[in-house]
Structure 1
């Protein structure tokens, strides 16, 4: 039996016409479909066949616009080369930035925790009441979907 190594890519999906504090409603399935179609355009049938076996979009956070994509080690290069070229997801204009590439989902979880804490600190500067801060804290720092993955 052969062990298959995976790579987990933490990406940020920014809407072109949106404010940084607005949420972006995306489903992991639509992210999966847009990445597969871009790999088809750039790398053809070979690229799609290479990434199909272990490719999934694991997580999408609406508030911080962070997502996790998993792919097998080796063909993950096809995915990482196409991520910056994705311009539309669900007919929404977006810009995709790769934040982190890790070998385990635990390391990606640690990175996301630090990243979301930084985002929370940035967004809290403009808020005055504790109620607003607590509401934002529960929205941004809610890591339950990631905990269900691991």
Structure 2
């Protein structure tokens, strides 16, 4: 049996249309489909064939605008080279910035935790009540928004 190595790409989604304090209305399925379209456009059938079996959008947080993409080791370079060229996801004008590429999901979540903690510290000054701060912390530090069951359909 052969073990397949994966790479996890942590991406920040920047949208000038939506203010920083409002969440994006972004689903991981739309993000995944947009990424596949761009890879098809830039790398053709070879890029799609190399990535089709292992490409998943593992995590997409609308509050902090961070997503994690899983790709197989090797073809993950097609993903990282295609990300800067994505300018529209659905109806949103966006700019994608690669934050981290890791070998395990655990290390990506550790990186996100540090990144989101600094994001929280910068936004806490704008909030007035303690209840607002607790609600923001709960939304930002929520790592349960993985849409794996939606992405399973594309594997089979």
Instruction: With the length of structure 1 as denominator, give the TM-score of the two structures.
Output: 0.93
Report the more deviating stretch, 74-83 or 90-99.
90-99
Q: Distance in 1 between matches of 2:134 and 2:43?
A: 45
Contact 2:58 2:69 in 1 (8 A): yes
How far apart are the structure 1 equivalents of 2:74 and 2:44? 16
Q: Shift of the alpha carbon at 1:143?
A: 2.2
Q: 3-state SS of the aligned residue for 1:144?
A: coil
Q: How does 1:104-123 map to 2 (within 5 A)?
A: 104-123=104-123
CA distance in 2, matches of 1:30, 1:21: 22
Pairs within 5 Å for 1:35-74: 35-74=35-74
* Count of equivalent residues: 148
Deviation at 1:129, TM superposition (A): 1.4
What is residue 126 of structure 1 aligned with on the other side? 126
Gaps of 5+ in 2: 150-156
Task: Please give the residue correspondences for 1:1-150 in structure 2 after superposition, counting only pairs within 5 Å.
Answer: 1-145=1-145
Structure 2 Cα separation of the partners of residues 82 and 23 of structure 1: 24
Rounded Cα–Cα distance in structure 2 between residues aligned with 1:115 and 1:124: 15
| Aligned mates of 2:71, 2:115 — CA distance in 1 | 22
Corresponding residue SS for 2:21: coil
TM-score by length of 2: 0.90
> 1:106, 1:135 → 2: CA distance?
25
Alpha-carbon offset, residue 145 of structure 1: 3.2
CA-based RMSD of the aligned residues comes to 1.5
- After alignment, is 4-13 or 14-23 more displaced? 14-23
How much has 1:3 moved relative to structure 2?
A: 0.8
- The answer to whether the 8 A contact 2:17-2:92 is kept is no
Contact 2:59 2:67 in 1 (8 A): yes
